[in-house]
Amino acid sequence: MGRKIVVALGGNAILSKDASAAAQQKALLETAEQLVKFIENGDQLIISHGNGPQVGNLLLQQAAGSTEDNPAMPLDTAVAMTQGSIGYWMQNAMNRVLKEKGIKKTVATVVTQVEVSADDPAFEKPTKPIGPFMSKAEADLAKKENPDFTFVEDAGRGYRRVVPSPKPIGVVETDAVKSLVDAGIVPISVGGGGIPVVSNGNQLLGREAVIDKDFASEKLAELVGADALIILTAVPNIYVNFNQPDQKKLEQVSVAELETYIGQNQFAPGSMLPKVEAAIDFVKATGNQAVVTALDNIEGFVQNGSGTVITEKVGIRN
């Protein structure tokens, strides 16, 4: 068995403007064609994914159709529902590409609960954007129709609903994921950051929140003993002075260098910052490498290591 790799895929890579099932399935088929390159390279793959656009859309659909006899489901259940739907599409896409390439490999979705602390201060301050971008008028109307929702302007791109985003402290189904990996099966896990739950005696209780998928993927990678954490985003590298005349891409970078850049506010909160922080957490916890790159650069990474590779010290390659 080759390297054990957790690959974290953003929810926006599955859904852009067209929210139809057909469009999302098409996007996932294109994604699968890239992800299979890891398997062709001999790597043992564990896939995670975001669900921000999907869960936000589902909540709006439920709110619009909610009645006393058929009430909308709570947020933790909506996360589970989108875990299932995206996992279903993803495993079908992966299975199709694997069969076309003559690779005998099974892909299976694990509906995953991720434990958070009931005392996490994030519950008092919603920050995680979910759902579609809206104009100010659309957000005002959505707020009027859903008084309990909170909407904020998101990075100059429009308004989105925000919900609490507590940090993960454990992955309940870790042993199930390990068993699948040991059997040579490709698991799809911690979808949408996992279903947020808190421990209460012998019970796990769902919470109204969405866990950042990068932090959940890091926690999973740490717990399953992954050799690498690969976070896929819209750009092939992390940049400093992004979109400025002196923009510089980072290729080989140490944890200490990234922490310096964080202190300089180089990375946008809610965008690149959580990816960088999750990568740092993984490298510190395991000593193994983390990579941030684009989906369409997977072949470049597999063939020549392109992308931003984060290690404890510059020049160390795992």
Active site residue 143: no
d(CA 223, CA 7) in angstroms, rounded, equals: 14
Q: Which of 4, 10, 11, 237 is catalytic?
A: 11
Residue type present at position 230? I
Q: Which of 51, 87, 213, 288 is catalytic?
A: 213
Q: Which of 50, 56, 87, 128 is catalytic?
A: 128
Query: Which burial class, exposed, middle or buried, applies to 37 when counting CB atoms under 10 A from its CB (0-12, 13-18, 19+)?
Result: middle
Q: What is the DSSP string of 214-235?
A: HHHHHHHHHHHT-SEEEEEESS
**DSSP H/E element including 144:** helix 136-145
Active site residue 243: no
Q: What is the DSSP string of 22-81?
A: HHHHHHHHHHHHHHHHHHHTT-EEEEEE--HHHHHHHHHHHHHH--SSSPPPPHHHHHHH
Q: Which of 12, 92, 146, 318 is catalytic?
A: 12
8-state DSSP, 190: S
Q: Which of 10, 52, 275, 307 is catalytic?
A: 275
Active site residue 128: yes
Q: Which residues are catalytic?
A: 11-12, 128, 213, 275
